[in-house]
Chain A
Amino acid sequence: MRALAFLALAVSAWPAAAAELVVELRTPSGQPVPDAVVSLYPGGRPAPFGPARGPYQIAQRNTQFQPFVLIVPVGGQIAFPNYDSFRHHVYSFSPAKRFELKLYAREQDRTVRFDQAGVVALGCNIHDQMTAFVMVSDTGLAAKSDAAGRIVFADVPPGPVTARLWHPWLREPGNRAELRWTLPARGSQRHAMTVQLRPPPRPGAAY
């Protein structure tokens, strides 16, 4: 099982003991929930970041953002290559990052730096159906669920941990929920969770 976003590796200050944490997310009807982000705060504090990962990229291809959800650390830079043969007008007015990119056809050299933690919703002003989200993370332990709704954290320090769950359509205030778990010193812990999702909003007027 591979985590789909960056996972922090052990650093010098990190405890030697660590457990594997598996989170499985499903809807009440049993459907897996991809693209949910779980952020872990061991002892209630952000986990340190490991070696720099990246480069990060959200492509525009076939009138879609790819990926739909991307996790980057605070300060991370994301490239926005346009592989389509027509223009895109990428924007966000989220408090964590307001920006606007006018991308000509097949333009591949534009990047944006995300220096404030939070969720950044992306849209294209030309193509209303295009939507994506950037989770700018302040903890080194953050990952998103895969198509099977699974997230695997390989090395989580033992003891109490605060887990923040986010999904763009999560039926909770702010699309997020907070959980508290206690991790063992070694071995594996599995959390199977049932989450309620709202239907995704319909794109606005097409003109």
Chain B
Amino acid sequence: MEIVRVPKRRAFGLASAGLLGLCLPAAVPAATPGWLAPDTVSGTIDLRLAGADGEPSWTDGGFGKARFGGARDGDLRLKPALAETELVWRPPLGWDLTGTLAVAAQHEQDLPVDLIEAFVAWKPVPRGPIRVSARAGLMWPPVSLEQEGPAWAVTDMITPSAINSWIGEEVKPVALEGSVSRPFGGQRVSATLALFGVNDTAGTLLAFRGWAMHDLKAGAFGRQPLPPLNEFMLLAQAPATRPAIELDDRPGFYGKLAWSPAAPLLIEAFYYANRGDPEMATPTLQWGWNTRFLHLGVRADLDAHTRLLAQALTGTTEMGIEENGHYWVQTSYRAAYLRATREMGDLALSGRLDLFGTSERGSQMSREESESGWALTGAGRLRLSDEAALLVEGLHIDSRREARARTGVAPNQAQNVVQLAVRLTL
């Protein structure tokens, strides 16, 4: 049988056009109730013009931390792109049951179209102050305070924080999740617990590439490229990681406690452990990673138009054979950000400071695989209409990673990315 390969960019264009076609029914007014009603289907198109200097992006075979990188000589490179086309279908499966099916065509991804989320949510009408709900399927765990809405988009900025970029690219389990919440006077407390699988490779990108800042999202079937690996790992690890696979048939778990002491304040604590077997690998060299992390998040609404967001995450991951008390890869990681957003009518201005770092102690990874860095992001979002928004964002990332020498660039890298996005919602 002859295999015909479609060039990645052309395949992406065809996929976007296909998704656009599928979006059209959402724009057709219809009185159809039920699972084909207009409000069950939504689509988003993200047209992007990006300019970046510095090292090549990790999506282009480098260690660059942004979605877009500079030219090979580090000079500014301008790049227009149909960055993303998303289609979300949320059919009502009953009065208490709703399905969510999200597919996306994302530039820089290896598959022209991939499944982003597929889950069923159960939310019965409350009979009293206690609310219960449940979800089952492929989905992101409730970590991010930045992403919301269809297909998990950052609404007021283009690029999510380092923390939520990683959640978006690698932490995508198939989970059975239950939540309960209830008010106590003016306070509200909620608890969430989940068992999950199909996320055994989470941690691969953090260990081999480090933190990144981009709006690419993990798909159910796609792969994320890894930067050039060291000599040992070139033979042990596949050159790309597939986030959504199960290797050891051992379920992981996550849990979250959230407390809102008053309406303008929300405090969350979240723990994740995929319980992956670090010594297990597929014939295609996808390894199990024993990844766990603790996350804290705070949202404070200073007034009706100003909000502060802060998240901090720390964790460890291990992969490979244990030798002398160390696995081949043994990475600890940490990151935090503080973000402020101010809305002024149709305009929202945001600023964010990110800090991040990893420490490597694996037996087959040198200390040069550790990293540290920070980033400043400023963004403006202008609402043009109910269906259109214009976003402008400037991102500066400064980081140090000795392993960059493998790609011929200096360990210290400073990079600037300016992006202009037009988001159309159908």
**How does the 8 Å CB contact mask read for A122-151 relative to B, with 1 for contact and 0 for none?**
000110000000000000000000000000
Chain A residues with CB under 8 Å of B181's CB are: 204
Q: Once the chains bind, are A85 and B38 in contact (CB under 8 Å)?
A: yes
Q: Once the chains bind, are A105 and B33 in contact (CB under 8 Å)?
A: yes
Task: Give how many A residues have a beta carbon under 8 Å from the other chain's beta carbons.
Answer: 24
Contact segment of B126-134, B155-163, B323-331, B359-367: B126-134
Contact segment of B1-9, B167-175, B260-268, B387-395: B260-268
A206 CA to B193 CA, complexed, in Å: 17
Q: How far is the CB of A196 from chain B (nearest CB, A)?
A: 13
Q: Once the chains bind, are B304 and A199 in contact (CB under 8 Å)?
A: yes
Q: Once the chains bind, are B127 and A86 in contact (CB under 8 Å)?
A: no
Q: Once the chains bind, are A89 and B40 in contact (CB under 8 Å)?
A: no
**How does the 8 Å CB contact mask read for B239-270 relative to A, with 1 for contact and 0 for none?**
00000000000000000000010111010000
Q: How far is the CB of A2 from chain B (nearest CB, A)?
A: 27
A200 CB–B CB distance under 8 Å = yes
A85 CA to B38 CA, complexed, in Å: 7
Q: Once the chains bind, are A202 and B123 in contact (CB under 8 Å)?
A: no
B37 CB–A CB distance under 8 Å = yes
Q: Once the chains bind, are A207 and B30 in contact (CB under 8 Å)?
A: no
Chain A residues with CB under 8 Å of B121's CB are: 207
A30 CB–B CB distance under 8 Å = no
A102 CB–B CB distance under 8 Å = yes
Contact segment of B95-103, B348-356, B370-378: B95-103
Q: Once the chains bind, are A199 and B123 in contact (CB under 8 Å)?
A: no
A49 CB–B CB distance under 8 Å = no
Chain A residues with CB under 8 Å of B123's CB are: 125, 207
A206 CA to B148 CA, complexed, in Å: 9
Q: Once the chains bind, are B96 and A125 in contact (CB under 8 Å)?
A: yes
A86 CA to B128 CA, complexed, in Å: 26
Which B-chain residue is minimally distant from A98 (CB atoms)? B127
A102 CA to B31 CA, complexed, in Å: 16
Q: Once the chains bind, are A205 and B179 in contact (CB under 8 Å)?
A: yes
Q: Once the chains bind, are B95 and A106 in contact (CB under 8 Å)?
A: no
**How does the 8 Å CB contact mask read for B87-109 relative to A, with 1 for contact and 0 for none?**
00000100110101000000000
8 A Cβ contacts from A70-119 to B: 84-87, 89, 91, 93, 98, 100, 102, 104-106
**How does the 8 Å CB contact mask read for B280-308 relative to A, with 1 for contact and 0 for none?**
00000000000000000000010110000
A125 CA to B124 CA, complexed, in Å: 8
B21 CB–A CB distance under 8 Å = no
Q: Once the chains bind, are A93 and B128 in contact (CB under 8 Å)?
A: yes
Q: Once the chains bind, are B264 and A125 in contact (CB under 8 Å)?
A: no
Chain B residues with CB under 8 Å of A198's CB are: 186, 262-263
In the complex, 5 of the A-B residue pairs with CB atoms within 8 angstroms, ordered by the A residue number, are: A100-B125, A125-B124, A198-B262, A202-B301, A205-B142
The 9 closest A-B pairs by CB, nearest first: A86-B39, A207-B121, A105-B33, A86-B37, A201-B263, A199-B264, A91-B125, A199-B263, A125-B125
